[in-house]
Amino acid sequence: MLKKESLKFNLAMNMIRTGSNLLFPIVVFPYVVRVLGVEGISLYDTANSLIGYLTIIASLGVGIYGVREIGRVKEDSVKRSTALKELLTINTLAAIVTYVFLLFFLYFSDNQHLNTKVVLVLSLLIFFTSLSADWYFVGVEKQAFITIRGVIIKVVIVMMVFLFVNDKSDLLIYATLMMLLIAITSLVNIYFLVPVFKVKAVDFNLKKHIGPMVSSLLINSCVSYFGLLDVVILSEMGAGDEIAYYTLPLRVFKIVSVVITSTSMVFLPRVAGLLSSDKTAFDKINRESISFILFTSLGFALFLFTFSGKIIQLFGGTQFADSALSLKVLAFTLIGACFTNLMTFQVFYSQQKSKAINLFYLSCIVLNILIIVLGYKHFGYIIIAYSYLASIFILALLQGLYNRFYTKNMLFEVEQLKYILAFALSILLSLLIKNVYLSTVISAITYLLILKLTKEKLVFGLLDSKLLKRNKK
């Protein structure tokens, strides 16, 4: 039987890992952007977006499906080993098919913004990601292993970037190092999975996973469309170097959103089990998660909006000054994206509501594509940011209505309106103050002060109870 790590410990490890994920790009990207320039970053991001999306397809949705399945059988070593072998076999076959498709695509594509050499180097991510089995370690709730491994590898890669990426001509080297980040992770995972592989599998059956994995793939593909395939669509329309003016703030957006939404994967193994055994606890965890998402996403959105110009200057320098508007739009998008991510994975997916999830996402993707195609000639690359914002908030609305009238989970309460009120007043105040630094500080203080005065329960309530206990001692 596996030793069960506490949920608090898993959350702590998850926060450390996401903190390292936050620190890695903050250290690396400003340097790389200045070295490779607008053209180099555009070429890399276009290739990376294509490979990123193909990698998701090759994974067949195992990232979320594997977490759920391993979580269900984590107490049985034989069933765990069997599930691991079955899912890795399917992933390997899918990776081969995807790679063949990529080669045909490159042969027939006339997209001048796709650097073939960069694409081929990054394409190795398709195989290494398929073999990494990170989902296994999440499923057995071994957050410490994932965290320590990830931090060590990132430190090594950071040092190599500063040593070997020194000129615009080093684009291929940078792509190779980013590929190695995943490749080394996969090899380390495989090494530690050897004892699991040695356990004899029983009732080996690939067929039973195909349907659920395809369903999970559709969810993952839809969720990952934003920020990946929409970038490829923009490049196909001839955006060229303009792509970097969107993808740079998009990097900042993704860094923050990953930090906020990473708790969903920590909670998924637990909520999947609670649904059938304790519906009240299921609703309580999800309700508190939504409150936490609102508190953090609105706070970060406020910071990104008020400090957008300085953030862009930090990451890209003056050559990316025009990207500040994209970051302001993405700041609002962050709120909807974090909410929909939690609803998708922690609430609906744990209840196996895959059809509804896919229907909502596909509808919003169609809307997103229409906005980009119809609006690009009139608004330029910035239309992709506005299309993301519009699509994600319509998605949030659809999910909220579906939960209200069909699943009827008790997830929302009046208390949560405090976060929105505090955010709205803080944004209005920031618009009245012209000095960027003063505006950021005062709006942040206002946001926290309003929540404190309105006796917000989740964060300030927890802090107050901790302080009260400490004073009694």
Kindly state the tokens that stand for 39.
Answer: 């053209």
pLDDT over threshold 90, residue 18? no
Kindly state the tokens that stand for 157.
Answer: 């890669």
Percentage of the chain modeled with pLDDT above 70 = 87
pLDDT at res. 366: 93
pLDDT at res. 364: 92
Minimum mean pLDDT range among 158-162, 315-319, 460-464: 460-464
Kindly state the tokens that stand for 285.
Answer: 């965890």
Q: Which residue has the higher pLDDT, 108 or 19?
A: 108
Report helix, strand or coil for 242: helix
C-alpha distances out from residue 307 to 144, 301, 380, 381, Å: 34, 10, 24, 21
| CB count in 10 Å sphere of residue 439 | 19
Q: Please answer whether residues 271 and 350 qualify as being in contact, where contact means their C-beta atoms are separated by less than 8 angstroms.
A: yes
Q: How far apart are the first and last CA of the chain?
A: 38
pLDDT at res. 2: 46
Q: How confident is the model at residue 161 (pLDDT cuts 50, 70, 90)?
A: very high
pLDDT at res. 331: 94
Q: What is the pLDDT of residues 47-79, one digit of tens each?
A: 888 898 898 888 877 777 787 778 777 777 888
Helix axes 263-277, 279-306, angle to 10 degrees: 160
Kindly state the tokens that stand for 174.
Answer: 């940078």
Q: Residue 209: which of 105, 77, 66 has the closest Cα?
A: 66
Q: Please answer whether residues 41 and 244 qualify as being in contact, where contact means their C-beta atoms are separated by less than 8 angstroms.
A: yes
Q: Which residue has the higher pLDDT, 172 or 111?
A: 172
Q: How confident is the model at residue 461 (pLDDT cuts 50, 70, 90)?
A: low
| CB count in 10 Å sphere of residue 132 | 24
C-alpha distances out from residue 228 to 31, 46, 357, Å: 23, 9, 19
Minimum mean pLDDT range among 129-133, 221-225, 267-271, 346-350: 267-271
pLDDT over threshold 90, residue 456? no
Kindly give, in sequence order, each residue whose CB lies less than 8 Å from that of residue 310, ignoring residues fewer than 6 positions away: 436
Q: What is the mean pLDDT of residues 224-240?
A: 76
Q: How confident is the model at residue 465 (pLDDT cuts 50, 70, 90)?
A: low
pLDDT over threshold 50, residue 105? yes
Q: How confident is the model at residue 179 (pLDDT cuts 50, 70, 90)?
A: very high
- For 331-355, letters b (16+ CB in 10 Å) and e give bbbbbbbbbbbbbbbbbbbbeebbe
Q: What is the mean pLDDT of residues 193-205?
A: 79
Kindly state the tokens that stand for 341.
Answer: 């991510």
**Which secondary-structure segment (H or E) carries 338?**
helix 324-342
Kindly state the tokens that stand for 284.
Answer: 């309580």
pLDDT at res. 335: 93
pTM of the model: 0.74
pLDDT over threshold 90, residue 214? no
Helix axes 171-198, 143-164, angle to 10 degrees: 150
